[in-house]
Amino acid sequence: MKPHYKGDDMAKDFSSVDLKTEKRFFNRELSWLKFNSRVLEEAQNTDYPLLERVRFLSISASNLDEFFMVRVAGLRGQVRAGITAKSIDGRTPQRQLEKIRTRAEKLMITQLECWDKLQVKLYKNGTKVKKVTDLPTAEMETLARKYENDIMPMLTPIALDPAHSFPFIHNLGFGLVLKLLSKKTKASMKALLPVPANVPRFVQLSRSSNGRSQTYVALEDVMLHYAAKFFPDHELDGAGLFRLTRDSDIEVDEKAEDLVLHFESLIKKRRRGRVIRLRLERSIPQDLRDFLVESFGAAEEETFDIDGMMGLSGLSELINNNRPELLFSPFTARFPERIREHDGDCFSAISQKDILVHHPYEEFDVVVQFLQQAALDPNVVAIKQTLYRVSDDSPIVKALIEAAERGKNVTALVELKARFDEETNLRWAQDLERAGAHVVYGFIDFKTHAKVSLVLRREGRMLRSYTHLGTGNYHAQNAKIYTDLALFTADKAFGRDIGQLFNYVTSYSPPQNLEKLVIAPTGLRGKLMEHINEEIAHARAGRAGHIWAKMNALVDRDIIDALYRASQAGVQIDLIVRGICCLRPGIEGLSSNIRVKSIVGRFLEHARIVCFGGGDALPNKDAHIYFSSADWMPRNLNRRVETLIPVDNATVRRQIMNQIMVANLSDETNSWDLAPSGKYIRRKTDNVDDPFSAHKYFMDNPSLSGRGKSLKYDSPKDPDQARANSNTARQRAKAKSNDNSPDKPAPQRGTK
């Protein structure tokens, strides 16, 4: 099962890459930039509707902002502190920053080129982003009215002289710097015109009655056009646009006496973090450029000159829901049928049999309904819940508040260290406490990243537990675009284990003798290593060694080295790693039995799954199957409270292994293969009739969750074989497409 690569990899010499050299690892930060390049590629994907391509461009720009705010900021801090410790691939912080700058500059240029092309297509399709200088008289009159009424009152011009110090510009803020000459004395003066927060990025000038045609101008273009009006005694002698990114990482003081007050202080401090990236319009006069660089305290290596629009993350404002033909075709998420069969009674359905839910293909509303029912059920006596990221208008938190107000014992573990969600979580924590819930914040030095609900219900003389164990956050909006797994179960062992997990984070009491659940930081790493070593032993004994794993990031040095050793022993390893991957696959003598692919498409792959063959090729009935909240990164395995959930139920096992994993491994339309050089190569589907898309497959096929009809079929032991035999697989799929029997084979490539 050796991967085959073309192009630059054929010419590279990898003979020196082994378990003793740093070359066996890819750099984490550069790998992330490659992931964001794949996101940007989706904006250039002509198979996608136009407005979805705009959305991908906006996401790519927003991702890059956050990368600088956190990852680059961290490296800058290391350099300032004189730290020279090397990354796993042998680079110092300074060397990493140099490489990041080169890659990031190329990425920003590509983003701007992409926008130029998309803007032309948008114009032809009725969404016109014009320059002020190109507006006809009628639109210019409309702009003048909008400026006078809606924009000018929000603006605050600031003359810069000894009486007016340089103002604070917030993170991701941008504005104009102006050079002015007095009409009387010709004396020079500088001024700033910051773009105010909470003002639309684009000014809409017209909209057709059906909403299909709209005309906009960019806010900064409007501001520049009218800037001189703020200074009637001066002439405009030069101007330029700037945008800045600030250090937004938070360093928690482990000795803080009041964690809530400490985080409130840190959030305020973050807003004033040092400048990490200063983007300047390339046409800006040199003296104004020098002035801004000095005023913001930005180093030259933190300054980027830009030809084109800044703040491309704001392009999401142009997405017009009145143009369905320019958006992905809508699909209706399904509700688990067995809960419907129990008249919506979640507890009745779960008590009968475990239910696996696959978001977003199945509604997140089932999770909401589970907790709402718990809040209203007089027999429910307690609810325990982890909250890492939740929406601003969270139905989950509202259900917990309802339960607390009804006198139930509600324990909410609110993670304050969820980056960029700290304020939301603080607000919800205060609302929960006012309702009477017991709110805890977990560990100071660990994040609680596990996704767990525990409901205790009195049934007759016994107290029965119902648990929800997931890979995704309790975030209703994200659940519409993130692919995640969640298990509802009334299994008593899980209930006891989850009880210990909550005791761990509320009382620092380490779990003892867990029956099923595996958690980090105490045992998750060890369990993964144990299974990898078992597969090595199977392979060395002449049995099949096989590992399938799906995750968002693979960074941990020890896990990667264990996978290398497994490959050397003959274990066949297929990895689906959406984002960062520091493992170098396909190296003879090191990783020739490892294949890595990334799936980037309509939905954000977020579920973490791992299957170990147990002495046989996957899929098989004796495999060890888990899903998890944890990626394979040091922070997840060492510094977070995470869950690794074993799957014992036969129906759920088949769903995860034979359906979800095989579909992801066989995906063609959204897949990128990682080559030994680090290059990601998009799978070509030009010559493939009806190429298989895992996302489309899950949208199109009827839900079987929780009904005992999980798809059964002989999945390909080697997904490459499925690709090579695509015609046969397609014919089998079509022949079975109308067969709803429990033994209906899942397609190896997909159905229409």
pLDDT of residue 170: 87
CATH classification of 337-516 is 3.30.870.10, yes or no?
A: yes
pLDDT tens column, 95-151: 999 999 999 999 999 999 999 999 999 999 999 999 999 999 999 999 999 999 999
CA-only gyration radius of the chain, Å? 28
Q: How many CB atoms lie within 10 A of CB 270?
A: 18
- Which residues make Cβ contacts (< 8 Å) with residue 667, sequence separation at least 6? 599, 692, 693, 694, 695
Task: Give the confidence band of 427 by pLDDT, cuts at 50, 70, 90.
Answer: confident
Q: Among all chains, which residue has been given the structure tokens 């129990």?
A: 342
Q: How far, in Å, CA of 440 to CA of 448, rounded?
A: 11
Residue 46 pLDDT exceeds 70: yes
pLDDT of residue 64: 97
Q: What is the longest distance spanned by two Cα atoms in the chain?
A: 92
- 234, 358, 449, 531: the catalytic one is 449
CB-based contact 488:359 (threshold 8 Å): no
Q: How far, in Å, CA of 352 to CA of 533, rounded?
A: 36
pLDDT average, residue stretch 665-693: 91
Higher-scoring residue by pLDDT: 170, 452? 452
Length of the chain: 752
pLDDT tens column, 468-478: 999 999 999 89
- For the chain, the domains span 109-326, 337-516, 519-736
pLDDT tens column, 324-383: 999 999 888 999 888 999 999 999 999 999 999 999 999 999 999 999 999 999 999 999
Residue 732 pLDDT exceeds 60: no
Mean pLDDT across the chain = 87
Structurally, at CATH architecture level, domain 109-326 sits in 2-Layer Sandwich (3.30)
Percent of the chain at pLDDT > 70 equals 87
Tell me the angle at which helices 93-124 and 50-67 cross, rounded to the nearest 10 degrees: 160
Q: Among all chains, which residue has been given the structure tokens 């609302």?
A: 431
Query: Can 337-516 and 519-736 be said to share one CATH topology?
Result: yes
Of 526, 659, 671, residue with least CA distance to 595: 671
| Class of the CATH domain delimited by 519-736 | alpha beta
Which pTM does this prediction carry? 0.89
Q: How many CB atoms lie within 10 A of CB 57?
A: 25
Higher-scoring residue by pLDDT: 719, 388? 388
Residue 261 pLDDT exceeds 60: no
Angle ∠(568,571,577) on CA atoms, nearest 5:
100
pLDDT tens column, 611-636: 999 999 999 999 999 999 999 999 99
Q: How far, in Å, CA of 489 to CA of 354, rounded?
A: 5
pLDDT average, residue stretch 198-208: 91
* β pairing state of 604-605 and 482-489: parallel
Residue 445 pLDDT exceeds 90: no
| 170 classed as catalytic | no
